[in-house]
Structure 1
Amino acid sequence: MNLKHQKEFFVQELKNFFILKSSVRSWHIPVLAGLSVGIPLMVGLYFDQSKAALTASLAGLVILYMPITNSIFKRMLVMFVCSFGMMLSYSVGLIFSFNPIVAVLVFGTLAIVVHYVARTFNMKPPGSFFFIMIAAIAFMMPNDLSLAPQKIGIFTLGTMGAFLLALIYSLLIKHDLKENTSQLSIIIDRNPYHNGIESALVGLFMAISLAVSYIFEMNNGYWIPISALAVLQGANSYIVGKRAIHRIIGTSVGLMLCFFILSYFNSNVGIAISIIVLQVIIELLIARHYALAVVFITPISILLAEAGSVSRLDPQQLIESRFLDILIGSAIGVVGGFFIYSQKVRVYSTVQLRKMRK
């Protein structure tokens, strides 16, 4: 690419950065997402059970997997399967977090399996993201098997709340849905090796990101694998790189917004309301402009993670550490995206796998 083409490309990308894409997504889903995350958080904070509230709120994110389909049975079936998957991911993280080496190996393996299943069944976005994100958070929690049943029970209640909201929503608007697409629709991959190779690389870089968190003893180190995974969600190497840039820009602005919220709305009610509003805004923007959505993803992620201790936090110190985590994770995601979407790597891996089968 010569200098003229590079300049044209840069100008076009700069113009695209300020354009909101069109979206056919219903406004109902953002509202449901806000309620699924916000209701358990507000109830838990009201009863001074902040840790339980956080766990239930994270489980409420399963509502984002509800498909738009005329069949209530299919919709509820997908919700049930995804709820079980998220509970399984959370449970695995809690059980195998007793040793860093074991945690890294199990987390990498879990990421491989989850990503492979999501790709095989052609799950619509957010795909494997929240399953792996929930596992990353659970792996970084203090290991105490005596508390695991209680935590899993609370997480299950969160998914049940989201399931109930999805059912009520489905009964109320069942005649308004016209799009007939399922969240889980089996596809046939023309190259059966591609999904396996991609999943193996995603698992490898998830394991590396968690290992980095352990090696450098990062506080709340799950931000590194989560940031890496968010960047890896791109459909090709170009989108991966673009997402990394958008994430860094969006994170920088989002941290300023988070500083404002922590400084002026650091009561339990203020945090709960902020999370609900932020979640609704994110779901409205995520398909239209990733960088703009990240501006709101950053503060809601921090607030969900720190909901139980906002009154004791130093906003400046917290934001500095989160920015470093996200920067490291995004860098790992870019490197991972290069390998995952490299045609040479795919061809070489496919040839080697075919040789092994002979």
Structure 2
Amino acid sequence: MVNVFLERLKCLFVNLFLGITFATAILFCVSCTEKNKIEGLTVEYTENYICVDTKEPRFGWRMKSDNNSRCIFQTAYQIEVIDEDGNNVWNSGKIESDQSQNIIYNGETLLPKTRYDWTVTVWNNIGEELTGKSWFETSLMSSNDIDGWNGAKWIGGSDDDMVLYSHYLPVFKMNLSFKMKDEAEQKKVGFIYGANDERLMDSNKNIYHIANLKDESYVKVEVDMSNALAVLNVYRVGYHNDDRADKPLVAFSIQSNVINKSNATAKHTVTLYSNLGFTAFYVDGNKVGEFNLNPLGRGGDFIAFPVVGDVGFTLLSANDFSEATMDICNFRSPENRITTVVMEPEKLKSSGKDIYIENPSCNL
């Protein structure tokens, strides 16, 4: 019995040894069959790129050595590019170089919306010739938003077609332009913005527990040319318990060389930059002052007061000014105009008051 057991154990070990040897031989042979090859073919650093938008894309590849080779390197390359019709649009010819990245295309002009197949042939220092194949596709390759679009046009996006939701814009620029008539009797013009903020129409939405009715809360920028020295008056109404509609929150003198008796009826522009309430005022490009109109102080962790809100005009007589417009613009460069609000005397007359207010939000 002991001899039989030993014989069987011996057979088991022999079979195990042969199995391990056979498996090792197979793995060894598999590793031996892995040859040097070309991989990682890229155009503009992307494999099989489907949106090449440059006329001179850059080609690249990698040479991978087998597991037993060392010190293998490229000595020359050749690139060929074929279009969809099988035409050779670029053949670099054999170039003696070890460069394998940032090879700039130097063939016929690439066409838009076209697939190209390309092949790179590499020669290495042990006399091998290796080949890699890939493809890429060109985009519309339009630099002017016209070519390649078959007459299609963008929807919106111009300076005259921008999005504005005025009650969510706390950082903005405004150009307030006006032209007074020669025969004007009332030489004051007022521009309204920041009106009807819903936070000021509900006592539960502001820390001062104010609840204004419609058109009872606003900021008014008024140019007063009644006296020898013109004045820029800024009113804040309905934002704080101390606000008054008949008393400016702040007033700035306008230099006599900017607005005076001789040019009073010329066109003038008040520009204001409002950054979370902190506002700088300019008249015809000359800075006249700055002030923080935000009753909460200065801070950027909330939607500050005032936002653009509802806007409008206030005049004692709609016939004293031939024009008055408000350009609402982006605060930051290039300060694109978002929309323009034009004074319409008929609206003043129909309101029965010296003020009218409207919502300038557009393209929503």
- The TM-score, its normalising length taken from structure 1, stands at 0.25
- The TM-score, its normalising length taken from structure 2, stands at 0.25
Comparing both structures, which one devotes a greater share of its residues to helix?
1
Comparing both structures, which one devotes a greater share of its residues to strand?
2
Greater gyration radius: 2
Q: Which has the higher contact order (CA 8 A, sep 6+)?
A: 1
